[in-house]
């Protein structure tokens, strides 16, 4: 048993050393310039929520699969725009679907760029009898479909014409070929406009891109009139991820319900200065709470409390290392969850210590009291932590479904913190107690906070 304790102590020291190394220097790690990923509420940035228009899906298309494809496409498009550490979540509630997008550290101009192009769907429009632009549609397999970029193959590229003007070349998939043939056949000699989301795509001269159809177009097409920069950006976005549905928001009820494309249902901007101030205040509050906690443990439990403080210090370092290594996004509610999990780690130690004190009062030796204290407290620690795990899973599920990133951040941090608190209470504290006091033969109850 003694050799086993030595091995455990070596493991704990090595784990603590590696964890401490991974988060030093504290000044840079804790402020997020390296290591820890700070969430939107701490770093600043934008939070966008879009509803999805699934009315154009076919009967054989699964909305869950479509939304998951949208999520991946949006993530790739954000990568093309050069924004770092974005978080994209699919929302579903009551048969309605949407996308929640966090853009930590994004400036106002970057957010506008995302809103304008990242979630946009190219739609081909024709003029009705009144001269208004309406979606160009065709019938494929008995179903009316709108001609959009969802039928593009992902091999769009740039080509220069004879005057060195950029052309965006795209190719239709099988369904797109049939739709394009139907639309262009009936529009020969008429304009066919291209809309990016809810707004018409405009050329370098500011005019709407609406070329006159000269012949039937089946396999491929081209977009001309863009500047070199806009043409390349459009090509990159289309290749990064093919958007299959429109995102925006619904308004109205019943028959008057209408969809506005490319306009978010909800938008929130967090100032970076507010985020930094939140960090500093959170760290100050955490430090005050931790100091009071450590003082209470030492005053009330004496030597046992001192061992608990060492165990809690190891717990805090390892937890920060976990956040730094994976990495896990730290939010303001996440910091609150960290402090809460620290309190639960103390609670586990208190259960153990109180059991030990009961054994000491009955006259048992220190070694036997240590083992009895852990064995009798274990079931209470286990059951209380399992119920917390269940609550964390429920919170994470609701937070993910509803796009509530603060709820998700709280749940993840609390889950990890509670799991680690079990490890430190059962392994770290137990090993330290066995080595420091487990082999003592004389017992002074006052040293262990036992009042007779």
- In DSSP notation, 385-402 reads HHHHHHHHHHHHHHHHHH
Q: Which residues lie closer than 8 Å to 380 by C-beta, 6 or more apart?
A: 351
Chain segment 406-420, per-residue pLDDT in tens: 787 788 889 998 899
pLDDT at position 242 is 63
- Please determine, for residue 172, whether its predicted confidence score (pLDDT) is greater than 70: yes
399 and 316 co-located in one domain? yes
β partners of residue 419: none
295 and 431 co-located in one domain? yes
260 and 280 co-located in one domain? no
pLDDT at position 443 is 61
Single residue among 224, 242, 260 that ends a domain in this structure = 242
393 and 311 co-located in one domain? yes
3-state DSSP assignment of residue 86:
coil
78 and 177 co-located in one domain? no
pLDDT at position 32 is 42
> C-alpha distances in angstroms, 341 versus 80, 85, 91, 393, 421?
38, 26, 28, 15, 7
Percent of the chain with pLDDT over 70: 86
256 and 233 co-located in one domain? no
- In which domain, by residue range, is 234 found? 121-242
- Please determine, for residue 30, whether its predicted confidence score (pLDDT) is greater than 50: no
| Per-residue confidence band for 444, with pLDDT thresholds at 50, 70 and 90 | low
CA neighbor of 411 nearest in space, from 333, 352, 325, 354: 333
In CATH, what number is assigned to the domain containing residue 209?
3.30.1360.200
| Per-residue confidence band for 380, with pLDDT thresholds at 50, 70 and 90 | confident
181 and 130 co-located in one domain? yes
C-alpha 338/C-alpha 4 separation (Å) is 31
pLDDT at position 44 is 76
C-alpha 173/C-alpha 70 separation (Å) is 18
Chain segment 257-285, per-residue pLDDT in tens: 888 777 888 888 777 655 667 667 777 87
In CATH, what number is assigned to the domain containing residue 101?
3.30.70.3400
398 and 309 co-located in one domain? yes
- Range in 110-114, 327-331, 383-387, 390-394 with the lowest mean pLDDT: 327-331
| Per-residue confidence band for 126, with pLDDT thresholds at 50, 70 and 90 | very high
| Per-residue confidence band for 1, with pLDDT thresholds at 50, 70 and 90 | low
- Range in 59-63, 117-121, 142-146, 261-265 with the lowest mean pLDDT: 117-121
217 and 265 co-located in one domain? no
| Per-residue confidence band for 449, with pLDDT thresholds at 50, 70 and 90 | low
105 and 200 co-located in one domain? no
Q: State the total domains in the chain.
A: 3
pLDDT at position 33 is 42
Chain segment 61-88, per-residue pLDDT in tens: 788 888 888 887 787 777 766 666 678 8
266 and 277 co-located in one domain? no
408 and 320 co-located in one domain? yes
């Amino acid at each position: 048993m003694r050799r086993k304790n030595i091995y455990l102590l070596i493991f704990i020291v090595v784990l603590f050393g590696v964890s401490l190394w991974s988060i030093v220097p504290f000044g840079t790690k804790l402020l997020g310039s390296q290591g820890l990923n700070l969430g939107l509420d701490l770093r600043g940035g934008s939070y966008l929520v879009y509803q999805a228009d699934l009315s154009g899906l076919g009967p054989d298309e699964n909305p869950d699969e479509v939304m998951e494809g949208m999520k991946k496409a949006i993530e790739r498009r954000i990568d093309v725009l050069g924004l770092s550490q974005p978080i994209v979540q699919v929302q579903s509630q009551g048969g309605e679907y949407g996308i929640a997008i966090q853009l930590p550290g994004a400036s106002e101009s970057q957010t506008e760029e995302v809103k304008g192009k990242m979630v946009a769907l190219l739609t081909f429009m024709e003029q009705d009898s009144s001269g208004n632009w309406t979606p160009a549609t065709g019938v494929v397999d008995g179903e009316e479909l709108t001609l959009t970029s969802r039928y593009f193959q992902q091999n769009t590229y740039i080509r220069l014409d004879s005057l060195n003007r950029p052309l965006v070349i795209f190719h239709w998939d099988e369904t797109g070929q049939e739709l394009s043939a139907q639309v262009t056949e009936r529009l020969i000699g008429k304009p066919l406009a291209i809309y990016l989301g809810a707004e018409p795509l405009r050329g370098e001269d500011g005019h709407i891109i609406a070329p006159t159809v000269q012949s039937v177009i089946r396999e491929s097409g081209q977009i001309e009139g863009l500047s070199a920069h806009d043409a390349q950006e459009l090509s990159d976005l289309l290749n990064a991820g093919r958007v299959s549905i429109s995102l925006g928001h619904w308004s109205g009820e019943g028959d008057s319900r209408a969809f506005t494309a490319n306009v978010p249902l909800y938008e929130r901007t967090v100032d970076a200065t507010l985020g930094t101030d939140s960090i500093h205040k959170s760290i100050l509050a955490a430090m005050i709470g931790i100091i009071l906690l450590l003082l209470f443990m030492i005053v009330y439990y004496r030597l046992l409390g001192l061992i608990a403080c060492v165990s809690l210090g190891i717990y805090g370092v390892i937890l920060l290392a976990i956040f730094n290594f994976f990495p896990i996004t730290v939010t303001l509610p996440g910091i609150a969850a960290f402090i809460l999990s620290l309190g639960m780690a103390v609670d586990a130690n208190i259960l153990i210590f109180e059991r030990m004190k009961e054994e000491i009062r009955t006259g048992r030796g220190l070694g036997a009291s240590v083992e009895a204290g852990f064995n009798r407290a274990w079931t209470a620690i286990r059951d209380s932590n399992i119920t917390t795990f269940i609550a964390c899973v429920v919170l994470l599920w609701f937070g993910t479904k509803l796009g509530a990133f603060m709820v998700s951040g709280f749940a993840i941090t609390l889950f990890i913190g509670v799991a680690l608190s079990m490890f430190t209470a059962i392994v770290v504290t137990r090993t330290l107690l066995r080595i420091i006091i487990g082999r003592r033969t004389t017992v002074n109850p006052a040293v262990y906070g036992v009042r007779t």
